[in-house]
Amino acid sequence: MKRASIAVRRRVPAPTKAALKRGLCSIFGTGPFKNALRISKRLPNNAACYYTSEIVQCMLHNSTSFRVFMKYGNSARVEQGHRLGPDYEALVYREVLQSLPLTTTKFYGAYTEPSSRKSWLVLEYIEDAMHVGTSWLQAEGMNAAAEWIGRFHARNQKRAARLSLRLNRYDAKYFRIWARRTVRFERRSGEPWLQQLVVNFEAAIAVLLTAPQTIIHGDFYCDNALYRAGRIYAIDWEFAGIGAGEIDLACLTLGWPDDMSRPWVRSYCAARWPQGAPRAFESRFYAAQLYVLFRLLGEAPGWPNPKERSWRLDLLQAAGERMGLI
């Protein structure tokens, strides 16, 4: 399933070649070879959703050639109480990802253009990688992604408290925002169960808040997990924060038939809790599914299209009934 994009934001333009060279030299250049980096090719990223991004082929003074992935955006953005943008994502790479013994995209650095609010994220470009939801790869790729995020949550549960002041929080206020926005945007649909579900959503919020808090990706849909040679590379960490790990699993499995996703759920549980999943896991997972659907439906009115919204409303109603909230 293709991840649902959030409402289109105004993209910042890519830097000029001269500005790009200055920024990359500040990250890769040292000593007498500081200005010896050469940009040999710039390729557009056709999969870009929210931010201007590109693949840049560079050559160093010793003829070493390599590609980097560049993401450009405005600095210091806040939406619904959460910090977003390349600056925040760079913090996640520095503080969370680079010290973990899990496969991850290499973080080269971040750069802010002088006299502007534009910031860049400079990452390793993963060659020949595929989204885990690619049709012929689904069984292996989705299962590997579920295992990876389960291990990630297990390793970061103890670290969450230490980083809680630096990372966004998935708290009750944040959860309520998306439920209330969904009701507002669906006022014309006249669904009689929706208002009741939003009122009773407080019970699901309580379940999510009493779950062990860990560091989560926050946007772990299948197109944010790349597969290459048996390894998973999670990308787009802008929504990372402290919350219930089941949120990421709900994102990954959203919209997939139960008979397909059930093995992935088992793989997640085995990776996160080798001694066995806690009894409360199922209720946490159902509560996370509710939040994820409110998050998508509450993004913008009429987005992405009536057919998609109708399908998500059907899933939302089923999730509410499963929890006994409607």
pLDDT of residue 35: 61
Residues with pLDDT less than 70, the chain = 1-10, 30-35
CA–CA distance, 320 with 326 (Å, rounded to integer): 6
pLDDT of residue 170: 98
User: If you count them, how many residues does the chain have?
Assistant: 326
Which 8-state DSSP code applies to residue 237? -
Global confidence as pTM: 0.94
The residue type found at 308 is E
Superfamily of domain 130-322: Aminoglycoside phosphotransferase (APH), C-terminal lobe (3.90.1200.10)
- CATH for 17-124 is 3.30.200
Reduced to 3 states (helix: H, G, I; strand: E, B; else coil), residue 168 is strand
Q: What is the pLDDT of residues 191-203, one digit of tens each?
A: 899 999 999 999 9
250 contact partners, CB below 8 Å, separation of at least 6? 285, 288, 289, 291, 292
Residue 237, phi then psi, degrees to nearest 5? -95, 20
Residue with tokens 């139960």: 258
- Smallest Cα–Cα separation from 1: which of 257, 237, 236? 257
pLDDT of residue 114: 85
pLDDT of residue 304: 87
Q: What is the pLDDT of residues 204-231, one digit of tens each?
A: 999 999 999 999 999 999 999 999 999 9
31 contact partners, CB below 8 Å, separation of at least 6? none
Reduced to 3 states (helix: H, G, I; strand: E, B; else coil), residue 203 is helix
Half-sphere exposure of 130 (CA within 13 A, CB side): 13
Residue 248, phi then psi, degrees to nearest 5? -65, -40
Domain spans, the chain: 17-124, 130-322
59 contact partners, CB below 8 Å, separation of at least 6? 37, 38, 39, 40, 65
